[in-house]
Amino acid sequence: MERLRGFDAAFLHMERGDVQMHTLKVLVVDPARLGRPLALEDVHRAIEGHLDAYPRARQIVVAAPLFGGRPFWVSDPRFTLAAHLTERTVAAPGGQAELDAVLSELASQPLDRSRPLWDLTLVHGLAHGRQGLVVRLHHAISDGVGAINAFAAMTREEPGAVVAPSAEGSIGAAPSRAELFARAARDVGPWLGELPRFFKDVSESNRKNQVYRAEAKHLPPVGFGAGPSFTTKPVGAARRCATGNLALADFERVKNAFGVTMTAAVQAVLAGALRREQLRRGEEAKGPLITTFGVAIDRASARLWGNEVTATFAHLAVHMGDPVERLRATAASTQEAIALVRHLGTDMAGRWSEYLPRLPHVIGRRMAYKTKNTLYHVGTASVRGPSRTRWLGPVEVVEWYSLAALAHPPALHICAYSYVDRMSIGILTAPEIYDRPRRLLEDMEDSLAELVSLAHRTDEAPGDVSTAAG
């Protein structure tokens, strides 16, 4: 038995009928070196060799009586790998749109809570003889850092043989309700013992927060500061996905030309794209939109599972018509938002969730639809991925995407994960927000091209890059 950490439990509690809290990890692979398409038996054999290194794959969530806030990970005595593997074929011609349609369906269907919280779909029929491996992974199991590390652990930088299956140990019987209750009850003493220190640290964190915000110039207000926008309307359970690639070198050029971070460059490109959508919809951009994104507690962590990021909030300066001003304002807010988390301590939110794992659901879900404002307008994630091509045995991974979960409102999230020479974009939304989310991807491409063009001008005439375009 292993108790869920606060963050993990919080993602579990966010899930309700129209809120699915599983993420999608998508690998597009080329089996040409294998000499034939991948079969489900190949996938079974490849995963089987890694099961012992990834215990969450064979664990279910079970709550102790009276202690449902933070349940337990326990081994599933009924686990069979085959039950978590399935396959399907996309419609012709097997392009990005056809793959996205399958992803939209998989994102809309909840995982079975009575089994380990993941499954994998082998997708056939993609263009150029390629195939897809789509893992549905509950956010309670892992964040983006853990997923990237797991991806790296299961792949190699050179083609080779598939990892041989490990000697799978026997899975014991599930603990009884009495055993779960006894274990949870033993945790009460240490939990209460830490409360005085926790309250002291909370008080100090609040003081530091006030001092920092008094000096900061670019942070959103605390609380429900996100006004109504097209991203915040109520939605149902259906999801829409869009995936695609932008040139990593273009983001690098923007980053270097304007002296911003890669995260800020991604945020600024998104700000330009959302501004285009607002203007298209006739929505006046009177002020910035608010984004939330995670800051890793340990940026060098090699963990394969768990959630160890703290959410922070920044402005997307969609109200600024000048692309460079929009970039600089977005970058300044992003920088301050990250610095605030580091200043307060990246573990404070995790400690809050250890005591109040249901709080994010109560605040984000129940309160938001009862007010005109929400906590934020759009969720984002920017994670550095492998810089060299990865291989699953003799099978080349040619593309890799991540799509997050939607704990709406709002109902729009964008993941930007670098892979080799590209920035892989995964957009998750709902049909009530974007019936065709590929339009947002196209707008991001235009926004990036605009900034790249201005970055070229900085090379030719430093300091003279203002423009009223956008």
User: Which letter, b or e, does each residue of 437-468 get, where b requires 16 or more Cβ atoms within 10 Å of its Cβ?
Assistant: bbbbbebbbebbebbbebbeebeeeeeebeee
pLDDT at position 263 over 80: yes
pLDDT at position 463 over 80: no
pLDDT at position 423 over 90: yes
Average pLDDT over residues 273-277: 97
Average pLDDT over residues 43-64: 93
> What's the pLDDT at 165?
63
Peptide bond into 110 cis (omega under 30): no
Lowest mean pLDDT among 61-75, 170-184, 311-325: 170-184
Same domain, 103 and 228: no
* Four-residue CA torsion sign, 49, 51, 53, 54: positive
Peptide bond into 410 cis (omega under 30): yes
Question: Into how many domains does the chain fold?
Answer: 2
> What's the pLDDT at 457?
82
Lowest mean pLDDT among 204-213, 314-323, 457-466: 457-466
Same domain, 246 and 374: yes
Same domain, 156 and 271: no
pLDDT band, very low/low/confident/very high, at 365 (cuts 50, 70, 90): low
Distance set, CA 376 to CA 44, 168, 331 (Å): 41, 45, 17
| pLDDT tens-place string over residues 11-50 | 999 998 889 999 999 999 999 999 999 999 999 999 998 8
User: Which letter, b or e, does each residue of 338-377 get, where b requires 16 or more Cβ atoms within 10 Å of its Cβ?
Assistant: bebbeebbbebbbbbbbeebbebbeebbeebeeeebbbbb
Instruction: Give this prediction's pTM.
Output: 0.93
In DSSP terms, 312 is beta-bridged to 293
Same domain, 222 and 359: yes
Crossing angle of the two packed helices 195-215 and 348-355, in degrees rounded to 10: 140
pLDDT at position 373 over 90: no
Average pLDDT over residues 199-208: 91
Helix (H), strand (E), coil (C) string for the chain = CEECCHHHHHHHHHCECCECCEEEEEEEEECHHHCCCCCHHHHHHHHHCCHHHCHHHHEEEEEECCEEEEEEEEECCCCCHHHHEEEEECCCCCCHHHHHHHHHHHHHCCCCCCCCCEEEEEEECCHHHCEEEEEEEECCCECHHHHHHHHHHHCECCCCCCCCCCCCCCCCCCCCHHHHHHHHHHCHHHHHHCHHHHHHHHHHHHHHHHHHHHHCCCCCCCCCCECCCCCCCCCCCCCEEEEEEEEHHHHHHHHHHHCCCHHHHHHHHHHHHHHHHHHHHCCCCCCCEEEEEEEECCCCCCCCCECCEEEEEEEECCCCCCHHHHHHHHHHHHHHHHHHHHHHCCCHHHHHHHHCCCHHHHHHHHHHHHCCCECCCEEEEEECCCCCCEEECCEEEEEEEEECCCCCCCCEEEEEEEECCEEEEEEEECCCCCCCCHHHHHHHHHHHHHHHHHHHHHHHCCCCCCCCCC
CATH code for the domain in which residue 56 is found: 3.30.559.10
Residue 173 lies in a domain: no
| pLDDT tens-place string over residues 213-223 | 999 999 998 88
Same domain, 82 and 7: yes
Q: Give me the domain span that covers residue 52.
A: 2-163
Residue 408 lies in a domain: no
Same domain, 158 and 278: no
Residue 196 lies in a domain: no
Contact 292, 375 (CB under 8 A): yes
Average pLDDT over residues 99-118: 97
DSSP-derived pairing of the beta strands 289-296 and 378-383: parallel
Contact 441, 186 (CB under 8 A): no
Average pLDDT over residues 84-108: 97
Same domain, 357 and 432: yes
For the chain, what percent of residues have pLDDT higher than 70? Answer: 93
Average pLDDT over residues 441-464: 84
> What's the pLDDT at 372?
76
Which of left, alpha, beta for 268 (phi over 0: left; psi -120 to 50: alpha)? Answer: alpha
pLDDT at position 315 over 50: yes
- Of 142, 163, 184, the residue at which a domain comes to its end is 163
| Residue written as token pair 């994670």 | 383
Question: Which residue from 16, 7, 110, 25 is spatially nearest to 385, judged by alpha carbons?
Answer: 25
Distance set, CA 90 to CA 87, 105, 121, 168, 425 (Å): 10, 12, 12, 34, 20
Average pLDDT over residues 131-136: 98
Residue 401 lies in a domain: no
> What's the pLDDT at 469?
35
Same domain, 304 and 423: yes
pLDDT band, very low/low/confident/very high, at 321 (cuts 50, 70, 90): very high
Contact 405, 294 (CB under 8 A): no
Residue 267 lies in a domain: yes
Residue 404 lies in a domain: no
| pLDDT tens-place string over residues 139-151 | 999 999 999 999 9
DSSP-derived pairing of the beta strands 67-75 and 59-64: antiparallel
Average pLDDT over residues 362-378: 75
Residue 355 lies in a domain: yes
> What's the pLDDT at 179?
93
Same domain, 345 and 261: yes
Same domain, 243 and 367: yes
> What's the pLDDT at 167?
55
Contact 56, 73 (CB under 8 A): yes
Same domain, 222 and 147: no
pLDDT at position 394 over 50: yes
Contacts of 207 by beta carbon, 8 Å cutoff, 6+ apart: none
CATH code for the domain in which residue 424 is found: 3.30.559.30
For the chain, what percent of residues have pLDDT higher than 90? Answer: 75
Residue 266 lies in a domain: yes
Contacts of 354 by beta carbon, 8 Å cutoff, 6+ apart: 5, 6, 70, 191
Same domain, 251 and 342: yes
Distance set, CA 138 to CA 307, 382, 392 (Å): 11, 19, 23
pLDDT band, very low/low/confident/very high, at 309 (cuts 50, 70, 90): confident
pLDDT at position 296 over 90: no
Average pLDDT over residues 296-322: 90
pLDDT band, very low/low/confident/very high, at 170 (cuts 50, 70, 90): low
> What's the pLDDT at 465?
43
